[in-house]
Amino acid sequence: MKDLLKNKFQLAILGVFVFFIILAVVLFSATGKKQSTDGTGPGSSSVVLWGTIPSNVITPLISQFNIDNVGLNVSYKMIPESIFDSELTEALASGNGPDAIIAPHPTVLRQAGRTIIIPYTSLSERDYKNIFIDGAQYFLTPNGILGYPILVDPMVMYFNRDHLSNNFLVNPPRYWKDMSEFVRTVKRLNPANIEQAAVALGTTNNINYFEDILALLIMQAGNPLVGFDEGGLVSTLNQSIGVVQPVASAVQFFTSFADPSKDVYTWNTSLRSSRDAFLAGNVSLYFGYASELEQLRQLNPNLNFDATFMPQIENSPNTVTSGSLVGFAVLKSSTQQSLAFQVGTALVSPTYQKILSETTLLPPTRRDLLEQLPGDSFRDLFYRSAIVSRSWYMPSRADAQRILGGMIESYRSGRLLLGESVNNASTDLDLALSDIKVFQAPKQTN
């Protein structure tokens, strides 16, 4: 009996290795299609996917894949991100888990101990970088590739056209240094409240994606938030670049817009959320994601707005925006590993990336597809933003909000000095990263 189980295990591993041999070929191919499975007959093989992405986004892709691949049935179950980890843990414990997951990059990172790392002998690091955007390098580890980057959602700056024209402004701020003058020009205050805010910055309770905005400011200043040592991932929040402390500078800048003693005061904790305020015409700028475009249009069809790149640091050698990356990873527990990898490889092929882009109006993750702009002003912006999008090794969305939010509020309230707030956040981030082992350097063998 043991020999039988051993032979079955060896055959399963052999199947995965055979698949890895053809993986790079499929990634470089024009379609990524495979017209049949391993010869087991129509309807005899199935792959179960779980993810946090809405079903209406993934379903068109899955439907087309099932049409193109006779004999392989792929199904998808959407699970809210807030309960995804617990649901997956429970399912795996009962032997009813999926074959692969489709989820935002923090989830893929947290589940790395349960997923198969693609070895660089199958797809080299250089080839991976040549195929996918720089922001997809988040999935590269010392030991291999965490998963396939199937979707990227770049952050952009939405702006109210009427607010600009009413103040005789042609364009919104291109650089962060111009934000102060923009705020002084556009904001409308009275002794009791803020009648019209210029930008939503400075607080944590009512700014959508405040953690991503602050992280972007830090990354633009040259600090990646998380780095590496031999033990794995470590916080870089308290590190300086020469005499400059990027994190402290970013926090000071961010919080200044919610400080009533400063002339750039334009936001406070009593206001509605930044997105709702933008939709109501109460704030001129909104930092949000490309995926929100259609929702903004639907929620207020009369809102006269446009979008442009996120502000940058003037004279910086790099242009950077935040990007939410979605990955595909195959679970070690799957009994259909080679077929699951076939699905994942197809989803990042040009054919299916085009389908996904047309369905979501979001840019593809492949460099070759980003060369040709769609010809729509919004989508052209999203394509260009995807090229310069970056992520950071966020342990989880909740951790990012807790740690970066705590740093902001402890300093803004005066409870801690700025340096103390940064040091505490760095310690908390190290603790949150301590359970993630996949980035530990490979052990040297004699």
Is residue 191 a part of any domain in this protein?
Answer: yes
Q: Per-residue pLDDT averaged across 290-298, rounded?
A: 97
Q: What is the mean pLDDT of residues 54-61?
A: 89
pLDDT, one tens digit per residue, over 378-394 is: 999 999 999 999 999 99
Evaluate whether residue 76 is within a structural domain.
yes
Q: Same domain for 402 and 344? A: no
Q: Is residue 352 part of a domain?
A: yes
For residues 342-359, give the mean pLDDT. 94
* Residue 159 covered by a domain: no
Show the domain range for 139.
Answer: 2-153+324-390
Please tell me the predicted confidence (pLDDT) of residue 43.
Answer: 44
Asked if residue 316 and residue 334 are part of one domain, the reply reads: no
Q: What is the pTM of this model?
A: 0.89
More confident residue, 320 or 192: 320
| 64 shares its domain with 115 | yes
pLDDT in tens, 79-137: 999 999 999 999 999 999 999 999 999 999 999 999 999 999 999 999 999 999 999 99
State residue 7's pLDDT score: 43
CATH number for the domain that contains residue 196: 3.40.190.10
Mean pLDDT of 437-445: 63
For residues 306 and 402, state if they share a domain. yes
Together in a domain, 386 and 399: no
Question: Band of the pLDDT at 38, cuts 50, 70, 90?
Answer: very low
Mean pLDDT of the 64-68 span: 92
Q: Mark whether 333 and 270 lie in a shared domain.
A: no
Longest dimension (CA), the chain: 82
Residue 135: per-residue pLDDT: 96
**How would residue 25 be classed by pLDDT, with cut points 50, 70 and 90?**
very low
* Model confidence at 26: pLDDT above 70: no
Task: State residue 236's pLDDT score.
Answer: 97
Would you say residue 443 lies in a domain? no
Question: Is 162 within a domain?
Answer: no
Q: Are residues 178 and 221 in the same domain?
A: yes
Q: 260 and 282, same structural domain?
A: yes
**100 and 6: one domain?**
yes
Residue range 307-316: mean pLDDT, rounded: 96
Residue 310 has pLDDT above 50, yes or no: yes
H/E/C letters for each residue in the chain? CHHHHHHHHHHHHHHHHHHHHHHHHHHHCCCCCCCECCCCCCCCEEEEEEECCCHHHHHHHHHHHHHHCECEEEEEEECCHHHHHHHHHHHHHCCCCCCEEEEEHHHHHHCHHHECCECCCCCCHHHHHHHECHHHHHHEECCEECCEEEEEEEEEEEEEHHHHHHCCCCCCCCEHHHHHHHHHHHCEECCCCEEEEEECCCCCCCCCCHHHHHHHHHHHCCCCCEEEECCEEEECCCCCECCECHHHHHHHHHHHCCCCCCCCCCCCCCCCCHHHHHHCCCEEEEEEEHHHHHHHHHHCCCCCEEEECCCECCCCCCCCEEEEEEEEEEECCCCCHHHHHHHHHHHCCHHHHHHHHHHHCCCCCEHHHHCCCCCCHHHHHHHHHHHCEECCCCCCHHHHHHHHHHHHHHHHCCCCCHHHHHHHHHHHHHHHHCCCCCCCCCCCCC
- In the chain, the percentage of residues whose pLDDT exceeds 70 is 88
Q: Is residue 300 part of a domain?
A: yes
Looking at the structure, do residues 250 and 337 belong to the same domain, yes or no?
Answer: no
Structure confidence at residue 441 (pLDDT):
56
Same domain, 384 and 418: no
Q: What percent of the chain has pLDDT over 90?
A: 80
Whole-angstrom Cα distance, residue 108 to residue 110?
6
Mean pLDDT, the chain, whole residue set: 90
Q: Please indicate, yes or no, whether residues 135 and 187 belong to a single structural domain of this protein.
A: no
**Residue 113 domain-assigned (yes or no):** yes
Give the per-residue pLDDT at 5.
Answer: 37
Q: Does the pLDDT value for residue 288 go beyond 90?
A: yes
For the chain, what is the domain count? 2
Q: What's residue 290's pLDDT?
A: 98
Q: For position 229, what pLDDT does the model report?
A: 85
